[in-house]
Structure formats: structure tokens, C-alpha cells
Structure 1
Amino acid sequence: MRGFLAFTKKEFREQARTYKWLIVLSVFFLFGLMSPLLAKLTPVLISSMDMGGVTLTLPKPTAMDAYAQYFKNMTQMGIVVLLLIFGGTLSNELVKGTLVNILAKGLSRAAVLLSKYTAAVILWSAGFLLSAVTNYGYTAYLFGEPRVPALIFSMFCLWLFGCFVIALILFSSTLAAGSFGGLILSAVTLFILLMVNILPKAEKFNPVTLASKNTALLNGTVKGDSLYLTIGITIALTVLCLVISIQMFRKKKI
């Protein structure tokens, strides 16, 4: 446990030194800030465009539009940010050989992986929380106090999917070689899961569903209890990715 805590602190220092904290917090703050603003200004911008004499009548934007824009930004650009920030969290150290001395001093490989996962999830959680609070506050300012059902549950689903993505990155990094091997394999895997999710019967077994049904949860077209199985499967796959990663990492030559 002492080694785990010490290496986790080292990861936090590394995140600060490489400006990952600054990048993640800044980017996700912008996501939370610009989503309600885009929802508010989009009808104005479209109505001001020259449509060749065609008049467009757009409905008045609501808080639901702001949240729909928020989840769109987070599930597209937000996941890309996760991949870029954490894609090399293990691969780079394997390529550079910086873990050799640490492991030689007795730190277990399981502690290394779990420390990296813990530090990454905490950073993801901090960025996600900042974006969610910013989005909620600015939406309330622009549209009045929003009463949106299933908002917290929808947020939780997206957060959990992010935790799964981080576990997938670590798993891919122990499997693929090179500085970008983990990043590329993770991106390919997510693309495959996205394609599989086109099949209606596969949705409830696919973690990607947690990042694609957020707006549907808010407007009531999807019920929360229909995602309980998906949540359970996502948690199980996250744990499985970590367990397999630890086993593969123990056998990996460094």
C-alpha cells in the first residue's frame, strides 16, 4: 500500500509537470461553458444568415438544448481528449525504460498499473466535475433554473464510460508496442464498439451505450433502469481490463 500511494503521488507530480492538469481542467471547463452558449446563440446565428429569401422559424432554445450540446461535446471531443492525454501514460514509460529502477526497488507491477489508473481517473473526475458544474451553472443563468430529469444519472453514465476508456488504454498499452501502440489500439477498439452499437440487440451489452443515450435519458425516451445491465457490464469490463493488464504487465519484459 505504501508503494501504491508513493507512486500515485509521483503520477500526480508528473501530471502537474507535464501540464496535464492544466490542459484537462481548461478544456473541460470550456466544454461546460460553451455548450449552453452555443445552444443559446445557434438560432440567432442561423436566422441572421442569408438563406436566399427562405425564412427559417426555429424554436426557442431551452435548457434541454444546452444539455444536448454538452453531451455531444463530451462524448465526441471529450473522449478524444481522454485518449490523447492518457494514451501514452504507460506506453511512453515502457519505451523510455523509466520504470526499470522503480521496479528494481521492489515496487510491484500491479501497484504501478493501479496507481496510473487511480491518478488518471481522479484527473478525469476532476475535469468532468468542473465541466458539469460549469455547464449546470451557466445553463441556469441563461435559461433559468433547469429542471431536467435523470440529469445526475446521465452524467454518471458518461463518467463511468470515461473510467472504462482509461482502463482500456492501460490494457492496450500492455498489449501493443511503441509509444502510440496503446493509443491506436484503444481508438480502434472504441471504433469497433461504436460500429457494433449500430445493432439494436447489442446496445445493452456495449459500454458505448453509456455515452450515446445521455440526451435520450434526459428527454425520457430511454429509461434509466434499461441501462442497469449496461452499467454492470461496463464495470465488469473495466475490472477485467485492469486484471488482465496486471497479469500481462507482470510477464512483460522491460
Structure 2
Amino acid sequence: MNGFTAFFKKEWLEAIRNYRVLLLFSVSALFGMMSPLTAKMMPDILANVKVEGMVLKIPNPTFTDAFVQFFNNFSQMGMALLLLVFGGVLSQDLVRGTLIIPLSKGLSRHAVILAKYTAALTLWTSSYALAALIHYGYTLYLFRLVSVKHLFFSLFCLWLFGAFLLAVLLTASVIVRGSYGGLFVTVAGLGILLICQTIFRMERFNPLRLASENMALLSDKAAFDPLLTIAWITAGFILAALILAMAIFKKKSI
């Protein structure tokens, strides 16, 4: 436990010095502010678009439209930023050999994996919570509050998908060599999940739905129970990925 705590603190200090904390918090806060503002300004922006022979009828933006923008921003640019920030979370340590000394002094390899994942997950959770709070505050200020079903669960699903990405990224970094080998494998894995969902219609157990059906859930176009099942399955995937990462890293030569 002492090794885990010390390495966790080291990861956070490194994240601060490498500006990961500043970058994630700044961009997340920006997403939180941009989303309701974009929804509020969209009718005015589209009203200035001249299309010959067509009349654009634009409904007034609502409380729900602001969350459409929030989920669009985070499910696309937000996840891309998350992968870029943590793309070399373990791979670069393995390439540079910075883990040799602490491991030789008795640091558990399991502690390395768990501390790295916990630090990354804590940073992701903090920045996402900040964005959600800023977004909710601005949305309340700009729009009339309406009752939205499953709002918290929709936000949770997107957070859980981010946690899933971090687990897959860490596991891939253990398996594949190179500074950004884990990042490339994770992106390829996302491509496979997308193909499975869009082409082969393999949606029943696909974690990608956690980041693609948030608004459908809010508007009752997606059922709650199937997404809850996928959330449990994704949690199982995260646990399995971490166990696999620890098992492989224990036997990996550094």
C-alpha cells in the first residue's frame, strides 16, 4: 500500500509538471462553457445561412439542446483529448527505463499498474466533473429548467466510457512496445467497436453505446435497461483489462 501511495503521488506530480492537469482542466472547463453557449447561439448562426429556394425554420433552443452539445463535444473531442493526454502513460516509462530503479527497490509491479490507472482515472473524473458542473450552471442561467429523465445516468455512461478507454490504453501499453504503441492499438480497437456497431449491428454488449446513446436516452429514444446492462459489462471489461495488464506486466522484462 505504501508503494501504491508513493507512486500515485509521483504520477500526480508528474501530471502537474507535464501540464496534463492544466490541459485537461482547461479544455474541460471550455467544453462546459461552450456547450450551452453554442446551443443558445445556434439559431442565430443558422439564420444567417442563406440557402436559395429554402426557408430554414429553426426552433428555439432548449435545456435539452445544451446537453446535446455537451455530449457531442465530450464523446468526440473530449475522448480524443483523453487518449492524447494519456497516450504514453506507461509506454514512455518502459521506453525510457524510468521504472527500473523503483522496481529494483521493491516497488510492486501491481502497484505500478494500479497507481497509474488510479491517477489517470482521478484526473479524468475531476476534469469531467468540473465540465459537467460548469455546463449545468451555464445551462440553468441561459435556459429554463425542465425535468430530464436519466440525466445523471447519461453523464455517468460517458464517464464510464472514458474509464474504459483508460483501462484499455493501459493494457495495450503493457502488451505493445513503443512510445505510443498502446495509443495506436486503442484507436484500432475503437475502430473495431465502431465497425461492429454500425456494420455488423453488434450493439447488445458494445461499450461504444455508452458514448453514442446519451441523448437518445434523455429523449426516450433509447431504453434504460439495455444501457444499464452495457454499463455493468463495461465495468467487467475494465476489471478484466486491469487484471490482464497486471498479469502481463508481472512477467514482462523491462
> TM-score, length-normalised on structure 2?
0.97
Measure the CA separation in 1 of the matches of 2:183 and 2:44. 39
- Measured on the aligned residues, the alpha-carbon RMSD in Å equals 1.2
1:213 corresponds in structure 2 to: 213
The corresponding residue for 2:70 is: 70
Whether contact under 8 Å (1:139, 1:146) holds in the other structure is no
What SS does structure 2 have at the residue aligned with 1:56? coil
What is the match of residue 167 of structure 1?
167
For residues 14 and 122 of structure 1, what CA distance do their matches in structure 2 show?
14
**Cα distance between partner residues in 2 of 1:54 and 1:218:** 31
The reply on whether 1:13 has 2:13 as its aligned counterpart is yes
SS at match of 2:50: coil
Identity within the alignment, %:
47
Tell me the distance in 2 between the aligned counterparts of 1:195 and 1:44: 36
1:50 aligns with 2:34: no
Mean Cα deviation higher: 241-250 or 219-228: 219-228
After TM superposition, list the pairs within 5 Å mapping 1:1-254 onto structure 2.
Answer: 1-52=1-52, 54-198=54-198, 202-254=202-254
Distance in 1, Cα, partners of 2:215 & 2:49: 28
Matched residues in 1 for 2:210 and 2:200: separation? Answer: 14
Going from structure 1 to structure 2, the CA distance change for 1:201 and 1:195 (only over 3 Å counts) comes to closer
- Which runs of no fewer than 5 residues in structure 2 stay unpaired? none
Task: Using the TM superposition, give the Cα deviation of residue 82 of structure 1 relative to its aligned residue in structure 2, in angstroms.
Answer: 0.8
Post-superposition offset of 1:91:
0.3
**In 2, Cα distance between equivalents of 1:156 and 1:62:** 22
Is the Cα–Cα contact under 8 Å of residues 39 and 66 in structure 1 kept in the other structure?
yes
Q: Which amino acid aligns with 1:144?
A: R
Query: TM-score if structure 1 supplies the norm length?
Result: 0.97
**Matched positions, count:** 254
Contact 1:117/1:166, CA 8 A, preserved across alignment = yes
Q: How far is 1:53 from its partner?
A: 5.7
Aligned residue identity for 1:209: R
Task: State the alpha-carbon separation in 1 of the partners of residues 156 and 20 from structure 2.
Answer: 23
User: Displacement of 1:70 after TM fit?
Assistant: 0.7
CA deviation map 1:67-96 (0-9, x unaligned): 011101110011101100111000000000
Change (3 A) 1:33 1:200: farther
| Structure 1: tracts of 5 or more residues without a match | none
Work out the CA distance in 1 between the residues paired with 2:202 and 2:236.
17
Partners of 1:147 and 1:228 lie apart in 2 by 21
Query: Over residues 124-161 of structure 1, what are the superposed CA-to-partner deviations in whole Å (9 max), with x where a residue is unaligned?
Result: 00010011111111111111224211110100111111
Moved over 3 A (4+): none
How much has 1:11 moved relative to structure 2? Answer: 0.5
Alpha-carbon distance in structure 1 between the residues aligned to 2:220 and 2:169? 32
